[in-house]
Amino acid sequence: MASITDKKTIFFVTSPRSPDKLINEIRTLVENFEGEKWNEKTQKDFYLHLSKQDFFKGSTTGDLAFKARDRINRAPKALGFVDLSPVIKLTNAGKLFLTGKRSEEVFLRQLIKFQLHSPYHTDKNDAFRVKPYLELMRLVYELGGLSKHEIGLFVIGLTSYKKYDDVKSRILDFRKEKSGLRKRKVSYKQFIAEEFEKELSRLFAEKIKGGEIFIRQNKKQSLGKFIRAKKSNHLDYSDASIRYLRMTGLFSMNPRSSKVYVLEERKKDVEFILENTPRDIFKYKNEDDYKTQLFAATEPKLFVDDKERIISKILRKSNEFNTGELEIKTTEELKDIYKSILQKSLTELVENEQSKLKDYEDFDDVDEVFSSITNREAVDPSLFFEWNVWRAFSMLDDGDIQGNFKVDDDGVPLYTAPANTPDIVCKYKDFDTIVEVTLSSGQKQYEMEGEPVARHYGNYRKETQKDVVFGIFIAPKLNDAAVAHYYALYRINIEHYGGKAKIIPLSLDDLKTLLKNAYQSKKRPKAADIKTLFVHLSDLALSTSSEKEWRQKISETVQGAFIQ
């Protein structure tokens, strides 16, 4: 139980940061600890058990019980997938989430039901009366989308649904001000900084006036540090809220503007939710009463729970079926048909995207997305880095370039590649290349990516039995230990990795240089040119005296690659 009494803002669930991790983490909890009390011992044991799973990303140092609570007490408990009192138990909603075919529908229902206040988040003043995700959906729908900054600036103050019109008005005023920046010769960065200072000063006026501007990490009073800390927190909530909305399958995002919007095909679904879901919070008698409605797996009803509405969707998207043959199908069968139609459309969309990339039509756009990621402007930067590297290789190569990330119905990336699979696989006639990417840096890069990248490389060689396989490791900044690791792997015959591992470390600048050279070349590179380059870059590990010299030679070679 947490208190939100006297808080000035709402919050969105931030742990796990990427909601696609929920299923694996909840399954690990209930399969190993269901029926036990959720106390410090089980929390530590759970976290240690979790850390041994292939999908785990995190640290095993520090307060492990706290880290376990951070992962389970937030989204899994708050959204009603698990009950932690009196003992650990999977709820009906949790069971359907883990075992059902349509986890996104279950997730959507639980998001809609999340409310402030509740027995999980108590408010003695009864000031909080809002379903945060429901009102966020409403704003996204009515305003044609919301940016990360708009959510962090204004939606975060929507503590009651009765404040909705005021928040909406503030966003419209903000957009009007933003539209005149060029005329006033004010940069967007400066404008956003000023808006956050103004809005946060308004929201926390009482605290500031009373001198209550301490921040957890620093006991010294400083208004500037207080504003910066609150801004960072609000943007974290904003980032997470967009990720969670997108997991419902109803929303997508513009990777350049970080603006979340309703998918055109799903507008009816959103309209149904907004028209049929009560805006006021559920009036519970006690915690058990609240849990009963929260844990219900099939409530509230969704647009696609009605056969006639699904049939209408199918007939609008495809001429392969007639009304008669669809009416004899069950609701679940109709949902399967609709999903297959959307998947077919998505496949065509991705193929068209790759066709444009191979013609270098999106060269400037790829470069722009890389810039937004390195400038820390993107929502879910790791995901979009993986996607944009796939776009870069699709542009650069003439092979079959497959990204293992999942995309939404608009072809925008939704989740990163699952554990134990390469991020990207490039297939050619006489060789393959697996590509692994990361935004991590320093020692963390080596710890997180050193062995897994080599393992993915070795597994791929064993599974495909390909004679020639290259590994490409890409990061904005390469860690010396990671480079040394890959340098050694090519000089030592290790059976576990399929022999000598040809894993080539490239910085983001290296990749951008290759793209630029290929774009400006009179003759675009073909598979044979790619292979020649990769053979040379990997063989440099044998002709250089150290990993530092190897890294330097790679960059020097890249500078002149594909120039004709």
Q: Tell how far CA 256 is from the center of its chain.
A: 15
Instruction: With respect to residue 537, please indicate whether it lies within any of the assigned structural domains.
Output: yes
Instruction: Give the model confidence (pLDDT) of 430-448 as tens digits.
Output: 899 999 999 998 888 888 7
Verify that 378 and 249 share a domain, yes or no: no
Closest CA to 10 of 156, 133, 212: 156
Verify that 433 and 543 share a domain, yes or no: yes
Verify that 369 and 349 share a domain, yes or no: no
Q: What is the pLDDT of residue 488?
A: 93
Residues of the chain with pLDDT under 50: none
Verify that 411 and 480 share a domain, yes or no: yes
Verify that 440 and 383 share a domain, yes or no: yes
Number of domains in the chain: 3
Check if the beta carbon of residue 23 is closer than 8 Å to that of residue 103: yes
Q: What is the pLDDT of residue 359?
A: 82
Closest CA to 272 of 241, 247, 250: 250
Burial code (b: 16+ CB inside 10 Å, e: under 16) for 318-346 equals eeebeeeebeebeeeebbebbeebbeeee
Check if the beta carbon of residue 11 is closer than 8 Å to that of residue 237: yes
Verify that 492 and 552 share a domain, yes or no: yes
Verify that 252 and 146 share a domain, yes or no: yes
Instruction: Give the model confidence (pLDDT) of 487-527 as tens digits.
Output: 999 988 888 777 888 999 999 999 999 999 999 988 888 88
Instruction: With respect to residue 93, please indicate whether it lies within any of the assigned structural domains.
Output: no
Q: What is the pLDDT of residue 106?
A: 96
Give alpha helix (H) positions in 52-91. Answer: 64-72, 75-78
Q: What is the pLDDT of residue 215?
A: 59
Closest CA to 472 of 522, 431, 430: 431
Q: What is the pLDDT of residue 214?
A: 67
Verify that 231 and 336 share a domain, yes or no: no
- The residue type at 342: L
The tokens of 242 are what? 């967009």
Verify that 490 and 374 share a domain, yes or no: yes
Instruction: Give the model confidence (pLDDT) of 462-484 as tens digits.
Output: 888 888 999 999 999 999 999 99
Instruction: With respect to residue 105, please indicate whether it lies within any of the assigned structural domains.
Output: no
Give Cα separations from 212 to 136, 226, 304 (angstroms).
29, 9, 49
Verify that 344 and 430 share a domain, yes or no: no
Three-state DSSP class for 28?
helix
Q: What is the pLDDT of residue 314?
A: 92
- Torsion, Cα 83 380 407 24, to 10 degrees, reads -30
Domain that holds residue 174: 129-280
Verify that 148 and 217 share a domain, yes or no: yes
Q: What is the pLDDT of residue 220?
A: 59
Backbone angles phi, psi at 112, to 5 degrees: -60, -35
Instruction: Give the model confidence (pLDDT) of 184-203 as tens digits.
Output: 888 988 999 999 999 999 98
Verify that 328 and 389 share a domain, yes or no: no
The tokens 């998918």 sit on which residue? Answer: 263
Q: E strands along 138-180, which residues?
A: 146-147
Give Cα separations from 204 to 4, 75, 223 (angstroms).
15, 27, 11
